[in-house]
Chains A and B, each alone.
Chain A
Amino acid sequence: MAATLCILVPILAGLALYALPKKSDRIAKIIGIVLSGLIVLYVAISAHDADVSVRWLSRPFVATFHVGFSGISYWIALLLAVTTFTSLIALTAARARDFVAQMLILEGAMMGVFLAKDVLLFALFWDLMLVPVFLLMVGWGVASRRADAMNLGARGTHQTAAWRYLIYNMVGGLSLLLATAAFGVAYGTTDVIGVAGLTPLGEVWAPWILAGFAFAFLIKTPVWPLHTWMPETYAELPPEVVAVVSAVQSKAGLYGFIAIGLPLFANEMHRFAPVMFVLGLVALVYGALIALVQTDAKKIVAYSSLSHLGLILIGIFSFNTLALRGALVYIIAHGLFSAALFLTLGYIERREETREINRLGGLAADNPRLAGGLMLAALAALGLPGLAGFAGELLIMSGLFAAGYWWAALIALVPIVLAAAYMLRLFQMTMNGPHNADLPKRRDLSWGEGLALAPLIIGLVLLGINPGPVASAATNALHAAVALVPAVKDASR
């Protein structure tokens, strides 16, 4: 029941917010914060909640409205609830009523993606979550804000980023849809996510069906060379939305590989592994190199995401229990620190009205709290021991070594070192040095803004000290999946 509520309540509440009077921005924000806070608590206590399942289709394949928390879903759902909560606290956008409404709808749709236990339902929410992001980008994106500032109206905006986001992800979504239909026809049922002891789909068409899924997953993650929508989108979206999108939406594809790919397409996943390794490694190195030379602060973090998610992809495709656990820990860790990074960058942009790191500088002197927040997030991102990023990276690397992919681990080491370089560069260029006289000086973080970062940073520290609960909660689900992979090199025992 809890899973159903976590999906439906935000969506319905978001729609209901539109019934408020137009000027009730403050009330809407408070409702949003309280509701998303309650959802955090509710998700947190629902780990062992029973699944809910209602029949949807009987022909031509069985599909159900089946939602529930299993090991993997629980942690990602919690991550989603926390990042939405913090983003809503940090929110300062104009027309807050509509903004909060869209954010809540987005939360509900993404909850659906991760809590769905049926592939068709998964596909439904996968497509649904595009819509609020598109509307947020159209209504509150950079182009739209600039138009607001210059009083241009609709004619002044172009919004290619919004289109690029939509078209890329829609093509992925449709590929997922076709793959789902073909899978349903071939397998007879789509009610398969998180079910133990499934026989993999052994069909002539299986590689093609997996290719359809994989295409959608790779676009969403995104992985080189399908990533070109991502930096633009992250730069265009308001920081509160990017925090959620980069933290959680980008994990939908990786989650798909774990939840659908591993148990049902064991052999095909194995066959695809070399390609995925190449793509992941390229993303890893390429993202890090681009992040080194970007001057737009948001794009630095966007490209660093590309790099980190490449590492997770390799972790998944090494078919090693240790690496898979590491992948999950890193999924959560990346969600926490990328949300924190984007929120702090949002604070910087709000104060200095620019994201160009060449123009920024010297903020630490007057804004110690802001500097502290960015420092912690950046340290987690570059993999400082003791914070969550390190735990994930270490597990993935050990898994890679154990599985015999020592060469991949060696290559992956370079971008991990580069991460230190670009993250420290980001911090140094924004926080240290002289303050640019052209830019305004504003006050340090307010209580609300600081509070918004707190849950993320606490999460990073806790997960860094003890990644055990996240890693082990998923062990059962992961183990069931990995056991099916032939010739698995399991070094965790």
Chain B
Amino acid sequence: MNPIFANAVTAPDVAALLPTFLVAGTALVVLFFDFFAPKSIRRSLAVALAILGLVVAGVLTAQQYGHPVIAFSGAYIVGGFSVIFSEIAIVATIVSLLLTLGVGRDDQVAGTSALVLWSTTGAMLMAGAGNLMMIFLGLELLSLGLYCLCGMSLRSTAREAALKYLILSSMASGFMLYGMALLFGATGSVSLAALASAHPGALFATGVGLFLIGIAFKLSLVPFHLWTPDVYEGAPLTVTAYMSIVTKAGVLAVLARFAYAALPAESATALLVPMWVIAAISMIVGNLAALAQTDMKRLLAYSGIAQVGYIVAAFAGRTDYGLRYAMLYLAVYLFMNLGAFAVLALMSRDGETGPRLASFTGLAYRRPWLAGAMTFFLLSLAGLPPTGGFTAKILILAATTNAGYVWLALVLILGTAISVYVYFKIVRIMFVRADEAHVRDERGPIFIPWIGVAVCAAAVLVLCFYPLTPSDVLPVVK
């Protein structure tokens, strides 16, 4: 038994946790200044402060790269691995905050920003979590913020989405918690390091299975995906955008650390096979379901299910390359998905309800730049050049075939083939000649999302020709 806080908290411990604290603290600052802000700058002040805090936290996190610190006796581990996932969460938060500027009532913006920051804190905790309790703490912090965010809007669909998310997500947490309890029972410790040296038995295997079900639920992998489209559709657009990246970043970090470092070497391959099967099913089912969607948010929800499948497939074989390329793909996914959401934000009048597929008709003739940007993001989602999606996908294919999982690579190709139809359905409809009278041209309330579009497009292009695949990012446990 290894009590968590047996030792006194030391300076390195605090330093390791500093960026996370900073993000959480920024939320308080945002709320505090919101009391005094004049009405005219209330919105921009809240968002600006939040972004400032995130940028500082991002810089501090980046400085941890290459300097692994095992804080709180192994409960929180920073260094290469967690830095990447934290940065992805931070960047995604910044971009989604930019979209938030024009949405909702004046008095809500500060609250929204604060909740977003706390959720990001949760994701960052998950990225560095070294024991089961820290994982659960991060996960719940992340989820609690999201429940509120989903219900922020006055539309009844938003409240429905919030409730649905709360109930189903709590159920997933229940699965995970039960799994953790069994793991604790099997090993007598909550630390991940203890799991790695455990003697695998029936109790242990059941614990791992339940834990992974919880993970699959949070990642919305098939067959645990049913909540995703409804929640994505009901939640405000910006929250959907935020949730589609940050949740994945946090949970994927936990999954990667669990799969790579926290399982006994001799039984890990067998224990994880169900995960790869689920990933394979997700790629196919997610894309097939996306075929039938006419609401853009639902479509992106199903496409997200498949995209997570690709990322999880990269973990198969638990190779060094697989992890790097999964990170690369997640980074690319951040930009291409948020880019697509920024386009949606520019096309939705209230900034909350996303446009339907039909409102893209003839977009290339009405707003060519927007259509061009959307085409670019869709090409990337489909894995076509010249985008980061292409490079990242081929690297994942290389990693999975290299690891010997050729069947998974074949399923990935099959899923991608289906997805091409999904994404090109949108491309086609944008470039088809439209009878202009029949299409309502909805424009978003503000210009700001264009910044998001530009940043994301540039990032997707750069990641195609200069794929950043950092070395020394294998997760450790102690």
Q: Which A residues lie at the B interface, using CB under 8 A?
A: 18, 56-57, 59-61, 65, 120, 123-125, 127-128, 130-131, 134-135, 138-139, 144, 147-148, 151-155, 157, 159, 162-163, 166-167, 170-171, 174-175, 177-178, 180-182, 184-185
Contact = CB atoms under 8 A, between A and B. Distances in A.
A128 B386 contact: yes
Contacts of B393: 177
20 contacts: A57-B395, A59-B321, A60-B321, A120-B394, A134-B424, A134-B427, A134-B428, A153-B433, A153-B435, A153-B438, A154-B435, A155-B435, A166-B421, A166-B424, A167-B421, A177-B397, A178-B397, A178-B410, A181-B401, A182-B398
A162 B384 contact: no
B413 A175 contact: yes
B93 interface: no
- The interface centre, meaning the residue of A61, A127, A152, A163 with most chain B CB atoms within 10 A of its CB, is A127
A134 to B, nearest CB: 7
Given A60-B395, A170-B417, A138 B401 contact: no
A124 B432 contact: no
B195 to A, nearest CB: 29
A139 B406 CA distance: 39
Q: Chain A binding site: helix, strand, loop or mixed by DSSP? A: helix
Chain B, interface residues (CB within 8 Å), range: 35 or more
A181 B385 contact: no
A135 B431 contact: yes
Contacts of B438: 153
Nearest to B322: A60
A430 to B, nearest CB: 30
B390 A127 contact: yes
Contacts of B372: 18
A140 to B, nearest CB: 9
A125 B385 contact: yes
A124 B417 contact: no
Contacts of B410: 178
Interface string B459-471: 0000001010100
Contacts of A151: 435
B413 A154 contact: no
Contacts of A60: 321, 395, 398-399, 402
B291 interface: no
Given A18-B368, A59-B469, A154-B429, A174 B395 contact: no
Given A59-B321, A127-B385, A177-B413, 10 more contacts: A57-B467, A123-B394, A131-B384, A138-B431, A152-B435, A154-B361, A154-B362, A157-B432, A163-B421, A177-B393
Contacts of B433: 139, 144, 147-148, 153-154
Contacts of B397: 177-178, 181-182
B148 interface: no
B416 interface: yes
Contacts of A18: 368, 372
Contacts of A153: 433-435, 438
Contacts of A180: 394
A125 B401 CA distance: 23
Interface string B399-435: 1011000100110010011001100100111011111
B379 interface: yes
Tell which of B391, B402, B416, B428 has the most Cβ of chain A within 10 Å: B428
B413 A124 contact: no
A178 B394 CA distance: 7
B379 A131 contact: yes
Contacts of B417: 167, 170-171, 174
Contacts of B398: 60-61, 181-182, 184-185
Contacts of B321: 59-60
B376 to A, nearest CB: 10
A178 B390 CA distance: 12
Interface in B354-388: 361-362, 364, 368, 372, 379, 383-386
Contacts of A144: 432-433
Given A59-B469, A177-B413, A181-B401, A139 B431 contact: yes
Nearest to B358: A154
Interface of B: 321, 361-362, 364, 368, 372, 379, 383-386, 390-391, 393-395, 397-399, 401-402, 406, 409-410, 413, 416-417, 420-421, 424, 427-429, 431-435, 438, 465, 467, 469
B405 to A, nearest CB: 12
A124 B391 CA distance: 9
**Max count, chain B CB within 10 A of own CB: residue among A57, A155, A159, A170:** A170
A61 B395 CA distance: 9
Contacts of B385: 124-125, 127-128
Contacts of A147: 433
Dominant secondary structure of chain B at its interface with chain A: helix
B461 to A, nearest CB: 12
B411 to A, nearest CB: 11
A155 B390 CA distance: 32
B355 to A, nearest CB: 16
The 8 closest A-B pairs by CB, nearest first: A153-B435, A181-B397, A181-B398, A154-B432, A124-B385, A170-B420, A185-B402, A128-B385
Contacts of B364: 139
Nearest to B428: A138
Contacts of A123: 394
Most chain-A CB neighbours within 10 Å: which of B394, B402, B416, B467?
B394
B424 A181 contact: no
A105 B301 CA distance: 32
A61 B401 CA distance: 13
Nearest to B465: A56
A154 B431 CA distance: 10
A159 B384 contact: no
A177 B435 contact: no
A22 to B, nearest CB: 9
Contacts of A130: 384
- Which of A56, A154, A166 gathers the greatest number of chain B CB atoms within 10 Å? A154
A238 to B, nearest CB: 14
Nearest to A143: B432
A159 B428 contact: yes
A178 B398 CA distance: 8
Contacts of B399: 60
Given A154-B361, A154-B362, A181-B409, A166 B420 contact: yes
Contact of B432 (A127, A138, A178): A138
A159 B420 CA distance: 16
A164 to B, nearest CB: 11
A60 B325 CA distance: 10
Given A60-B402, A131-B384, A162 B428 contact: yes
Nearest to A139: B431
Contacts of B427: 134-135
A148 B398 CA distance: 46
A55 to B, nearest CB: 10
A124 B380 CA distance: 12
Contact of A185 (B361, B401, B429, B469): B401
Contacts of A125: 385
Nearest to B362: A154
A480 to B, nearest CB: 27
B416 A124 contact: no
A56 B427 CA distance: 29
A155 B429 CA distance: 10
A153 B361 CA distance: 10
A130 B427 CA distance: 13
Nearest to B464: A124
A159 B397 CA distance: 32
A459 B394 CA distance: 40
Contacts of A181: 394-395, 397-398, 401, 409
Contacts of B368: 18
A124 B386 contact: yes
Kindly name the residue among B402, B429, B465 whose own CB sees the greatest number of chain A CB atoms within 10 A: B402
A388 to B, nearest CB: 33
A155 B434 CA distance: 8
B397 to A, nearest CB: 4
